[in-house]
Amino acid sequence: MSGYTSFAIAGAGPTMGGRIAKALLAHGVSVVALTRPTSTSSGSLPEGVKVASVDYADIPAVTSALREHKVDVVISALAYGALSAQTPLGDAAKAAGVKLFVPSEYGMPTEGGKEGHMIPKSQFADHLKSLGVPSARIYNGLFMEFIPWLTGVDHGKFHILGKGDKPISTTSLDDVSGFIAYILTSLPPSKLQNATFRIEGERTSLAAIGALYAPKVPTAHVTELPEGFTKQTFLHGQIEKGRLSSGWNNYTDSDEPENAASGNAAWAGHQWKSVKEALGL
């Protein structure tokens, strides 16, 4: 055991936070979900998860909840649009004596990033550092389960904006959540505090994934995605730049493939899912 036995999760929805909660419970630890008073996600939480209903902006209330449940580690699974809520959560974690904070990073590496979409995550990492709250950052590239959404296969084609030949790191949601639960309950604090983990289930490309979909839908290389695909267009652009590799280095603005799966060794013996397995192709 790592010495951490009590965990709080902010953003415990079914996509990521709920999976992390379920994976942690399998390790026999205490898990509390920090839910907003207006949240409806508590009904879908795994059995065994305690619930603390708090306004994330109310630092004293969050601090009280963390102390009440004797929380060692706060894990954020907040969506990008809610990342501003992490700042008061960090302040509450400091006040409550929390030993580790896992910010909502995941996805593409943001450490050292200067572009607009990276700034909220980089600023929060700096905020935790200024508070003296240790953090563990995790990069996993693209969630495999998001590939149909990214490429619009329900529109009858596997859309690729550009060539689609750039290497990307893809990792299943269950592998990411399982990895988080494993390292937090198995590694010593010295290996977790202020550490960065780069993980990768399968290194592939959109073109290669499109070939897997060939029996179902054709691949279409396009200059524009379907109407309304704003977020997808942004991600396709990042993929074309190589930034969806877990090995991307923002300091040198280049991919370092040898680092993309460097964190996998922390979960020794685990069999990582392939895209084909995760999507049932």
The structure tokens 């396709």 sit at 236
Tell me whether the CATH fold assigned to 6-141+172-198 matches the one assigned to 142-170+202-255+272-279. no
Answer whether CATH 3.40.50.720 is correct for domain 6-141+172-198: yes
> What pLDDT shows up at residue 90?
97
What mean pLDDT value characterizes the chain? Answer: 93
> What pLDDT shows up at residue 42?
58
> What pLDDT shows up at residue 3?
81
pLDDT reading at 43 higher than 70? no
Name the pLDDT band for 119 (thresholds 50, 70, 90). confident
> What pLDDT shows up at residue 38?
74
> What pLDDT shows up at residue 191?
96
Determine the residue type at 259.
Answer: N
pTM: 0.94
> What pLDDT shows up at residue 23?
97
45-79 per-position pLDDT tens digit: 888 999 999 999 999 999 999 999 999 999 999 98
Name the pLDDT band for 251 (thresholds 50, 70, 90). very high
Fold of the domain built from segment(s) 142-170+202-255+272-279: UDP-galactose 4-epimerase; domain 1 (3.90.25)
Name the pLDDT band for 169 (thresholds 50, 70, 90). very high
Nearest to 107 by CA among 176, 18, 14: 176
Mean pLDDT of 223-248: 95
176-233 per-position pLDDT tens digit: 999 999 999 999 999 999 999 999 999 999 999 999 999 999 999 999 999 999 999 9
Q: How many angstroms from the chain centroid is the CA of residue 185?
A: 18
**H-helix segments, 160-229:** 173-186, 189-192, 206-213
Q: Where are the domains of the chain?
A: 6-141+172-198, 142-170+202-255+272-279
Nearest to 162 by CA among 210, 105, 96, 106: 210
Mean pLDDT of 153-165: 94
